[in-house]
Every structure is written in structure tokens, then in C-alpha cells.
Structure 1
């Protein structure tokens, strides 16, 4: 069993040591070949059947699968004073699987599947630390077409409640001595989240979507836009299928605002206005083919200087990491291609692959944040030795293991990364491709090494 598996999942308790060992073997197999089918990643029919049986077990719940990883995440969190708890919702689309039971409708009434709300903890420098919470649900078909009725319900009766529950969970898992900053996109812009009771050292940073009324009589956007220009900063805009990576220059405005409670609820529920800091950043001289960045951020974080504002904007830019996490789950781990017949089994598989997806993302960014650490922090000796021999066509000539940055680039080369001057650091996609090839190479290498010793 690899050392990282024992370290990451050693606290897992599934009620039986044999089940826990089987779980570790499943995660090990899937992490070596994340984009492979379950039979291919498992290697044998016995291991494949054991994986499917595990996901069908009545004795195990998804929360039990995640618990060991969550505790390992808490240990990583203990090394940081500030933790970003990034929330986001995605959907798993299983429309083509007509025989799937337990699925619900998605944002399109013609699509069926599951909704997933995750909390990804990230360091203040942008290193993914692990999953803190994950909530999965299927929308009841009876609710389809009742949007107007849902608007009249309390927050506790709506899907919006998931943001509040996730905030509570984050606060429970992160010590009060650490500052936790809950970060959400525009979907998290609703009054109840602003007004929700928070413990000491718990703040939020939310991108505004609603043009709210202020106590001054103005609207939110015009109120912030009329504030004085405070300076400029640059951020790295990551590439995606529709745009290239670029450095964006942003103009900065910020001011204190007091937002009014919703008019249809304020008097009836005796809701109070909320004083917040508002930050508006707008991209200047954006390339003509891209949509310029314009973020209006609402936060409880204290602002004492322009440097504080720059820090908070960079923190918000790390929200992109949870989108990458969901991308790895769906495209890297091919979660939507699983055919497990029931939503319950799919949720078990999701809990398992959540650990695999996090490790892929973590490995990608750890190599950028800590390039000089030993590669043996993440790979077994035989794995990096086989990797070096494959890339360089020779046995590793030094006694000291190579560093993590070098090894991650070699794995990426196996996945198609060219490493040219303008290519930057390898991304998560070439890593999951490379890891699958590395598994085949290193297993053969390990087998040959054992033959030599015998």
C-alpha cells in the first residue's frame, strides 16, 4: 500500500478492518488511473467486483468514506492561519442512463441526474487542502415547474439552505484560532447568508449578483461605482476552453455599504440592514475577443489599506479552484460515465472519487507552491525511478531523489505536455493522462526489480 494512502486515509473507520483495507485499495487503483474505467483501473475481475460490491454495501455511508480524508484535511489546515472555504454547486448529468433510479431533474427539465454542493478548503496562497463537506441530492420531479411557489418558502425549505449548512460545517471543522473565509460566486448572494450568525474569526467574500437597495437610497452598483478610484492590481486569469491565459490589469474601488433586507420580508420578519465592505474591480484594456473581468465583491473582512483589498481579490480569484475540482471529477475521473443503476451507488462512487480528484488537483498545485520538496512526498521510490528511466532512457544517476517540480513535469510529459518555453506549468489534464501511463510503467518496473532480487 502506498504511503500517501496510509497517511491520507489511515483515520478511516468503516466498522471492519477488511472493509477499510478494501477501500484503501480501491482509492489506490483509481488514483493511479483516474480516467480509466473501473475494470481497467482495478486490473482484475476480482478487484472490479470488489469495487462494485463496496459501492453497493448497506454497511457503509458516503460520509464514512469521506471522514478519513476530512480529518487529514483538518491536519493540513492546522498549518495555516487563514483558510478559504470555497463553496460551489455542480451537477452530474445521467440523462442518457434511462434505467437509473433515484435521479432528479437538473437545471434543464429535459436533463436528469444529481446535484452536488462541495466545500473545498484552500490555503491563503491558493493550495487546495481538501474537501470539508459535500452534499448530494436529487430534485423531486413533482417540484418541476414550481419556481414561483418555491420563492415563497423559507430558506430552510429551499436549496439555498445548503450554503448555510456548508458554512456551519466549515466553522465546526476549522478551529476558532484560524480565520475561515467563506467564498462563493453570485449564487451565494442572498440576504440570509449575509445575516447568518457566524462564530469568531469567520468571514465571507461573496460576488454580488443583485443590485441591492442601500440605506442611502442608492442602488449597490451605482453606490460603489461612484466611489473614488483607489488604484490598480494585476491578476492571473487562467485559461479555459473559451479563452487563453492572460494577466489582467484591474482598477480598484471600495467603500462601506449598508444593504437593506429584502422588501418582501423585511418588516414581517424584522430583518436588520447589514453593513459590509464592497469591492469593485474592473479590467482595463482587455483583449477584444474576451469578456472583461468585472467583480463586485461583498465581504465582512476588514479593510485598512489597498493591500488588504488586493489580498481579498486574489483570494476570490482562487474560487476558480473548485471549478477545476468539479472538472477533474467529471472529465478526469469520468464520473458521469459510470453506469451503476442507482443514485445511491453513484453517491458512494462520488465520495470515493472525491479523494482521487482532490489529490490530482493538490499534486498539480503543490508542485507550483513547493517545487523543491522531495518527490517521495507523493510517489514511491520505484515509481519515480521508473518514470526517470522512461523519460531519460537511463537509470537515475544521483543518490538524492529529484524534487517534486521535476517529477510532475515528467509525469505531464507522459500525458502529452511539451514543456516549451511558453507552455507554463503543466495542468491537471496532462497529469491524469500521465498518471495512467506511469501506473503501467512503474508496475512493470517494480515487477522486474523483484525478479532481479530473487
Structure 2
């Protein structure tokens, strides 16, 4: 909350992941393979584990600021078909987590700070759009459903969303820098942009008269000529933010591109902290471990992205003096530390070097894996430094 207060705008990025604690194959005859208690089905019906929904706060420049909220639950065995599920109240579905987390974000973030809820297509929930929002609370969500829309609230005719946005003229073309993901390389994408204000109509299955049409700004960005071997970008975004120009549309697209941060967060939780390899016996103990790992994972992400945004800031307040002193001496092979604190950018590259980062001209910025390995080494080096300094 202290970090958030330093910003006029923050992104509250929501997403869900799964922690798979299915019994592992027994490698040795004497090995035990107990079935943990307090687990439920996952996307794979044969797997067992926990569902985790996280709200990660990030600055408008894409630096993770911390975890605003995190919900952990055990999924029940599915009953009934999709038609029966659709008719249930949203409060009876897992979808309710998106609404609950929006309430938490609005309650925790100071009223003078603009909070933008960012979500992927799973967040395309009409009841989420219809929720009461305090001033300076906005949403930026990728559309999944081809909802019925109107050009204005008094219009008699309705038209599907995907068709309605295509009926307007192209606003312009932009170049957007895309971060590397598990499905694509980091690259620059040339996007054609459409913008239109539409009114979303309530779905037919909702109680008539209880929900009103909702005014949203719609942004469509498509990549007409993707790089060879790359899948074309096609984002259809729904937002309550004002979109009156190409520049404001670009800002929304850039903020949506930061949604990838929460996927990196969940990746670190599993790959770096290796939470799915914990040998705890039941779900409640794993939840308590997750509370600690949530902080460790955020700090790793924050170091990575803060060093890229502000490499020249001093490392004071990020590392303890004895930590950067031990790091400085290990890297420079000396027992006399620097009299002045180094920069954050220098320290992060030194930590990454401990983790195997070579720092060659074409290597770019260090990644999360090498930083994770380097931080583990730095911890051991620091403990020895303190022992010897005593």
C-alpha cells in the first residue's frame, strides 16, 4: 500500500492459475506416495490440487508493486451441464472471484489513485461490468463473448460486438513492443486500430429488468502482417477509460500488454519457488506456505522490472548494506567493499552473474531464472560475510 501511494495510476491485474499436487510416480520400491488431503479437481479431471486467483498491483510503467489479494480454493466435482451452470447466479460460480477481487481493489487502493482492473477473456463477465464502481475505478478487459450491442442507449436495433466494431473506420496504425512469452518471442508488432463506443446489452439468461445496458469503449487491434512463424495479434478490449484519440487507444493497449506480468508471477511461483514440489500433507498447510512464497515471488519480479525501469537508482532500501557489500566483494574478488552504494542496475546484473548470466553484448537484460539462482547464492554468501565480519 505504501508503494501504491507513490503512483497516480495503478493496474490491478487479475488472473487464475492451478497448483497441481497430483501423486507423483513412485521411483523406488520403498518410496511413499501419499495422497494429500484437501485437494480438488483441476482442468485435467484426473489431476488434483488447488485453484489460485491473484490480484497483482503494477505501476503504469509495468513494474510489479505487490499482491493486493489472493484467493485459494478447492474446486468441487462438476455437476450438471453448461446450460444449468449458465443459469446459476454468479455468486454460485467460480466467476464470483473476479467480482470479489474488484471489491478488494476498490477498498484497498486510495480514492485519489486511479485503479484499472485488467483481465483476460476469462474476465468477460457481464456482472463484473455492471458492478458499482467508485470514482477513479476503471476496467480494461479482453472480450471473449460476441455480445449484443447498440450504438446508443435509444437505438432499436442490436448488432453483435465483433461485427459492430468492424463497421467503423480504422483509426490508425501503431507499433507496439510485445514482451516475450511462452508462446512468442519479444518483438515489435504493427497493429491496425479501431475504436468505437457501444452499449453492451444484458444477456438473455439474466433476470429481465434487473440489469441495464452498459456503455463501454471498444478497442480492436489486429496485426495484418505478422512475422514469419508468429501468430497474428488480435485484441478486442472493453474499457471504461476514455478513448478519444489514437494516443489514448495506444495507452490502453500498452497497459493491457502488462497483463503478462501476472503470468510471469505465477510462473515464478511454480518454477522459481517450486511450490508444487512441497511435501506438505494437506491443502491448509500449502495455503500458509503460499502466503510466504507470494512475497518472495513478488520481490523477485519487482527486482527484475524495477532494474529495467530505474537502473540508476541507488540499491539502498532494496538490499541491506551487508548484502550489497558481500555481493560487491564476491564479484570484484576483494575483501574491501565500496564506500558508496552501487546502483540497482549494477547489483541486479551482479546477482544474475551469480546465477549464470554471462552478460554478453547480445544477451540483453537478465531473466527471472538467472536472478532466482543468483539470489539463492547471494543468501549463502551473505551469511558467510556476516560470520566473518563478526
Structure 1 equivalent of residue 90 of structure 2: 155
Indicate whether 1:108 and 2:40 are aligned. no
The one of 234, 244, 248 aligned to 2:189: 248
CA distance in 2, matches of 1:397, 1:349: 36
- Partner residue in 2 for 1:295: 235
Is 1:75 matched with 2:2?
yes
Structure that is richer in helix per residue? 1
Q: CA deviation at 1:433?
A: 0.7
Structure 1 residue 403, shift from structure 2 partner: 0.2
Gaps of 5+ in 2: 25-33, 151-156
Instruction: Give the equivalent residue in structure 2 for 1:135.
Output: 71
Determine if the alignment matches structure 1 residue 349 to structure 2 residue 289: yes
Whole-angstrom CA distance in 2 between matches of 1:449 and 1:232? 59
Q: Are the counterparts in 2 of residues 248 and 286 from structure 1 also a CA contact under 8 Å? A: yes
Equivalence for 1:383 = 323
| Normalised TM-score (structure 1) | 0.80
Task: Name the CA distance, whole Å, in 1 between partners of 2:147 and 2:72.
Answer: 31
Partner of 1:200: 135
Equivalent pair of 2:195/2:243 in contact (CA under 8 Å): no
Task: Answer yes or no: is 1:338 the counterpart of 2:278.
Answer: yes
Computed over aligned residues only, the root mean square deviation of the Cα atoms, in angstroms, reads 1.6
What is the Cα deviation at residue 151 of structure 1? Answer: 2.0
Instruction: Establish whether residue 170 from structure 1 lines up as the match of residue 97 from structure 2.
Output: no
Distance 1:176 1:442 in 2: 41
- How far, CA to CA, are the matches of 1:406 and 1:283 in structure 2? 37
Deviations for 1:195-232, whole angstroms, at most 9, x for unmatched residues?
A: 11111111100000111111243211121122111122
Question: 1:266: Cα distance to partner?
Answer: 5.4
- State the partner residue of 1:84: 11
1:366 aligns with 2:293: no
C-alpha distance in 1, partners of 2:315/2:136? Answer: 35
Q: CA deviation at 1:449?
A: 2.1
SS at match of 2:372: helix
Query: Paired residue for 1:210?
Result: 145
1:123 aligns with 2:59: yes
5+ long unaligned stretches in structure 1: 1-73
Give me the whole-angstrom Cα distance separating, in 2, the residues matched to 1:266 and 1:104. Answer: 32
Structure 1 stretches (4+) deviating beyond 6 angstroms?
Answer: none
| Residue-by-residue CA offset, 1:149-197 (whole Å, 9 max, x unaligned) | 3222100111111100000010000121111111100000011111111
Q: Secondary structure at the match of 2:191?
A: strand
Q: How far off is 1:418 after superposition?
A: 1.7
Deviation of the 1:370 alpha carbon: 1.8
